[in-house]
A and B are shown apart, each in its own frame.
Chain A
Amino acid sequence: MKTSSISIVFLLSGLLSYESVAQKKYTLSGTMKDSQTGEALIGATVYITSMRKGTTTNNYGFYSLTLPMQDSIAVVFSYLGYQPQIKKIYFNNNLELDIELVLNEDVLDEVVIEAQRSDENVQRAQMGVIDIPVTRISELPVILGETDILKVVQLLPGVQSGNEGTTGFFVRGGNTDQNLVQLDEATVYNPNHLFGLFSTFNSRALNNVTLIKGGFPAQYGGRLSSILDVTMKEGNNREVRGSGGIGLITSHLSLEGPLRKEKASFIVSGRRTYIDLLARPFTAKGNRSNYHFYDINAKLNWQAGANDKLYLSYFTGRDNAEYKETVGIFYKILFGNSTATLRWNHLFGQKLFLNTSVIYNQYDQNIETVQNNSFSQVFSGINNISAKTEFQYLPNLHHSIRFGAHYTNHEFLSKGKTEAQSSGNQSLNIGSIPSKYFDELAFYVNDEINISENVSTSLGIRAPAFISNKVEYFRIEPRATLKVSVTPTSSIKGSYTLMNQFLHLVPSSTASVPTNVWVPSSLRTKPQLSEQFALGYFNNFDQNKYEASIEFYYKTMDNQVLFPAGNQLVENFDVDTALVYGKGWSKGVEFFLRKNTGRLTGWISYTLSKTDQQFADLNFGQKFPFQYDRRHSVSLVGTYSLNKRWTLSSVFVYSSGNAFTLPVGRINVANGGSLFEGNYFIYEGKNNARLPSYHRLDFSATYKKRRKIFGKEYDSEWIFSFYNLYSRSNPYFVYLYVDHNENKPKAKQVSLLPIIPSVSYNFKF
């Protein structure tokens, strides 16, 4: 008996030992950086060819892979535009391996937008995600020589710009407020400089931009339609570098360098327009015109220890536009964002990564305008203090788990006023606008699971809450995506997401100047809610030379807000009391075909979509098209590398016209002599008509050359560009007037931007 027990113990021990040896796993982790600058490479790929498994770096360049013990493995470290490295390592222990990749300048310039691994679009479980390596954006045609993140984003399927002259972008039928735009985790409420000509992001200060338009993982929330996650550069921690540029309208300057070599670095980047200074001598007497914007990005980072890193980011940008004719139209538009983020990264061993941030955010928007002897002013002010903490846990190859919490304390001010113009001071008393305070809180957990070689999923849950002194809202948001590989180069993906949004931007449907105003949720204004279903087929061919995808989506949106018919904002009343509520539906299909390599690269994107809304208090309770419902959207983007010096780029965009409300008939009321006697309009429905379609062709040529000044070499480039090459008069808005010669009403279209040539000179040292 005793012998049997001992034998069993030895057998069990042996089995356990055998079990331990067979199951033994080790972790390979580290960071991936640019060898010249020390910048973290975000979304770079770490791939084990023998196991056909891998991972990507996070927003801080960190990666972690836990694998069964092997005698040796070949690991491929790669990132777009860099020379890949293959490391053969003996994998019989935990290993920390920091990699620095060398920029590959011998390879002809490749397409701007591409996934980090050449088949990432097929293999990853996430759908609706596009990463944009910012360094490549400069090759695309841009307006007035400025590279622009948002202009590139608007060329992607499912994403639309508004009319020329409107700010923001629209994703899968959602309004502009339904996009969460973050810069180093701080929310940017208005990512455009005036008229949408430029975004508030100076691309020279950016490292990475990621757009998510569906299948949102649980760490993202607060908006219904998209997440635009923008990460600033850290600054070259090896040597001091600078760049700058002079253009016809704007100039920019950036400086970066080490504070302590390979330990601490900084980057400062700024730009300003000087159109106001140039315009002054040419403005007619009695007229007053002033427009300028500026933005400044700054960041410090410090490697405090082997496992700790601190970052301090700062951004400020302001627009100041004023235009006054001696009689007639007047507008004054002032708005600005300022953000500051303090972040701490910490590594708990090789599998657990922590990021904690404290963020301050300030936004204000003040728009005053006079048109048709009517005065209007809207003011929005938002101050936030936020704290975020997120853990990323990578236990093994099958799971990548994120969990964390976000907290934000909001101070909100919003007010509006519309009345007939008078001679006195009609401006709002901004100092007397009462503040509203409320908190947002969210907890979440998300796991990306590799179920098998062909099946992976991302499952998450987010629990957001809105807490004010008058009302509280608690919500649960499930998130799920599933990927099934059909062949090694193709996959089918599906996703379901539920999102809530506690802030609302109420749009004006009529005014040419964007008199939109932000309001928070309240007892009366319920949080916006959306459910989105998406299904897609992704296929690469010719060894990932071509990527293709087709995605279908269907989205519902509840608790949408609009102003009611006849609404006039009154200073003494809350904006909240003037709103009406309804629903929205959006469905569409997105085609995307991209060529990634060769002299000619680029993509074609086509979106067919339909978005409707329904409000009990509008349009007789009947459904009507969303104002920015555009049936067809096409983008053709091409970049051709003529040689090492010259690069040609072209963009063609086409969109069906936006919807607007047009009367269909006229009646003459009260033929007796009265102030209300006259012609009145008969409407058949809201947004019953369409503006003419929008299309435009841009072209640019970039000439690069290495030059010398004072014996020092630097990189130079001349950019010659044409925006709207064939000068199409694209519609900005349409208004009605009476032609007294023909004695009948007519429609007049206002267009904003004709052909705009531009020359700019950039330098980099």
Chain B
Amino acid sequence: MCMKYLAWTILFLLAISCQKDIEIKPDTAYEEQLFIEGILYPGKVPRIYVSRALPFFQPEVAPQEVFARGAVVILTNRGVALTLQADSVFDPFRCRWIPFYQGGAVAQQGETYDLNISYRGKSYAASTTINQAKVNISSVEYTEEFFDVYGGHDGVVIQLQDKAGEENYYRFQMNRMIDNDRLHAHTLGDVRSDCTNGNMFPITDLGRTVFSDENIDGQLLIMAIEVSFEYKEGDSTWIFMQSLDKRTAQFYKSVDSQLESIFNPFVEPVFIDSQIDGAIGVFGSAVLSDSVLFIYPQDNP
């Protein structure tokens, strides 16, 4: 009996590992960096998200708490400089305001824009030229299941003809109306409250994968894409394919790679490939294809 008890104790100790929270103090205090996310869309008023990065172990806060209030955000085109104004939109699904800087004339294809931001004594500069060609979507089909590095998903399969002779990068976009029944299939952050009152609101679902035409230049691209939100049979959506500039593509590719490494403990950590000196982020552009109406043929699995 004693031996059995002793053996059980030792086995128990061996079979379980001990876990405890620990405090890790960095050698030096984290000097908050600025995070800038600005994608210009031809035909749309420029909108730049500017926020402060948080020290890693600080509690989660709402976007307005890290908004870089008081930043001077200037967009220059053809020598004309315009200071963007702080504005925001309300996210009814998370009951919070999403602030940004916005303003000026709508962005134009073929134009070059310089971004200058001054915040707390530091300056940041970036530039982009919108010269990607608009792509044409050949077809959109529904798929009940496909597999990628994140596992098995349902979604849509997009076919488009790549333009030969240039480096092209594509990202999926779906515009649709959803209510709180059709929330994220995979929530990345907690939904702490819901201000939708059951009503439908417009959302833009951006794909997490950036596709490039490397080694398949000029060919028909077939892309299976996981959609973010749940759906019911008959839900109408408008699908676009974005043509991204190289910097934007690199930035969101690194974001996607890091996401994999966060989910998958066997993937080496990924550093985000910032495109703006002195800050984290990207200033680039995306040219939308013509939209394609897509109606879900069934409820999501």
Contact = CB atoms under 8 A, between A and B. Distances in A.
Given A678-B188, A740-B190, A566 B272 contact: no
Interface in A404-433: 418-422
B265 A512 contact: yes
Given A670-B206, A674-B205, A751 B24 contact: no
B95 interface: no
A692 interface: yes
B193 to A, nearest CB: 13
A754 B58 contact: no
B33 A682 contact: yes
A568 B264 contact: yes
A568 B267 contact: yes
Contact of B56 (A563, A569, A663, A677): A663
Contacts of A283: 15
A282 interface: yes
B231 interface: no
Given A422-B151, A565-B270, A747-B21, A664 B262 contact: no
A248 interface: yes
Interface stretch (A74-82, A520-528, A549-557, A728-736): A728-736
Contacts of A248: 6-7, 10
Nearest to B174: A674
Interface in A710-758: 729, 732, 734-735, 738, 740, 742-757
A674 B271 contact: no
Contacts of B188: 675-679
Contact of B280 (A569, A679, A682): A682
A420 B150 contact: yes
Nearest to A568: B267
Contacts of B82: none
A371 to B, nearest CB: 5
B14 A673 contact: no
A750 B26 contact: no
Interface string A223-256: 0000000000000000000000000110000000
B260 A665 contact: no
Contacts of A734: 22, 24
B276 to A, nearest CB: 12
B147 to A, nearest CB: 7
Contacts of B14: 275, 753, 756
Given A508-B266, A682-B272, A670 B37 contact: yes
A274 to B, nearest CB: 10
B63 A668 contact: yes
Contact of A692 (B22, B37, B147): B22
A662 interface: yes
A262 B23 CA distance: 64
A562 B269 CA distance: 12
A664 B91 CA distance: 28
Question: Could you say which of A289, A680, A757 has the most chain B C-beta atoms within 10 Å of its C-beta?
Answer: A680
A392 B55 CA distance: 64
A371 B150 CA distance: 13
Interface string B12-36: 1111011111111010001011010
A286 interface: no
Given A674-B205, A748-B19, A748-B20, A568 B266 contact: yes
Interface stretch (B46-54, B133-141, B159-167): B46-54
Contact of B151 (A373, A569, A670): A373
B49 A676 contact: no
A510 B54 contact: no
A563 B63 CA distance: 35
Given A275-B11, A620-B271, A673-B228, A372 B264 contact: yes
A114 to B, nearest CB: 34
B280 to A, nearest CB: 6
Given A672-B206, A680-B255, A742-B59, A566 B20 contact: no
Question: Could you say which of A674, A677, A679 has the most chain B C-beta atoms within 10 Å of its C-beta?
Answer: A674
A633 to B, nearest CB: 21
A374 B24 contact: no
Interface in A252-266: none
A420 B26 CA distance: 32
Given A670-B206, A671-B63, A674-B205, A751 B18 contact: yes
B66 A732 contact: no
A661 interface: yes
A746 B21 contact: yes
Nearest to B96: A671
B93 A565 contact: no
Contacts of B190: 740, 743
Interface string A350-380: 0000000000000000000101111010000
Contacts of B264: 372, 374, 376, 418, 420, 568
Contacts of B189: 677-679
A511 interface: yes
Interface in B40-70: 49, 51, 53-60, 63, 66
B149 A420 contact: yes
Nearest to A511: B266
Contacts of B54: 665-667
B179 to A, nearest CB: 13
Interface string A551-593: 0000000000011111111000000000000000000000000
A561 B233 CA distance: 51
B8 A756 contact: no
Interface in B145-203: 147-152, 184, 186, 188-190, 203
B242 to A, nearest CB: 12
Contacts of A562: 268
A509 interface: yes
B293 interface: no
Contacts of A663: 56
A744 B59 CA distance: 4
Contacts of A675: 184, 186, 188, 205, 207-208, 226, 228
A474 interface: no
Nearest to B205: A674
B59 A752 contact: no
A515 interface: yes
Given A279-B15, A668-B51, A676-B255, A565 B268 contact: yes
A642 interface: no
Contact of A511 (B30, B184, B254, B265): B265
A729 B20 contact: yes
A12 interface: no
B34 to A, nearest CB: 10
Contacts of B19: 748-751
Contacts of B26: 662, 664, 688-689
Question: Could you say which of A421, A676, A677, A688 has the most chain B C-beta atoms within 10 Å of its C-beta?
Answer: A676
Nearest to B252: A676
Nearest to A670: B206
B220 interface: no
Nearest to B258: A680
B204 interface: yes
Question: Could you say which of A372, A669, A732 has the most chain B C-beta atoms within 10 Å of its C-beta?
Answer: A669
B255 to A, nearest CB: 6
11 contacts: A418-B266, A420-B264, A664-B30, A665-B54, A666-B53, A667-B272, A673-B91, A675-B208, A681-B262, A747-B22, A749-B22
Given A374-B265, A422-B151, A740-B190, 5 more contacts: A278-B11, A667-B272, A672-B203, A673-B228, A676-B255
Interface of A: 248-249, 275, 278-279, 282-283, 289, 369, 371-374, 376, 418-422, 508-512, 515, 562-569, 619-620, 661-684, 686, 688-689, 692, 729, 732, 734-735, 738, 740, 742-757
4 smallest beta-carbon distances between A and B, as pairs? A420-B151, A678-B188, A566-B257, A676-B208
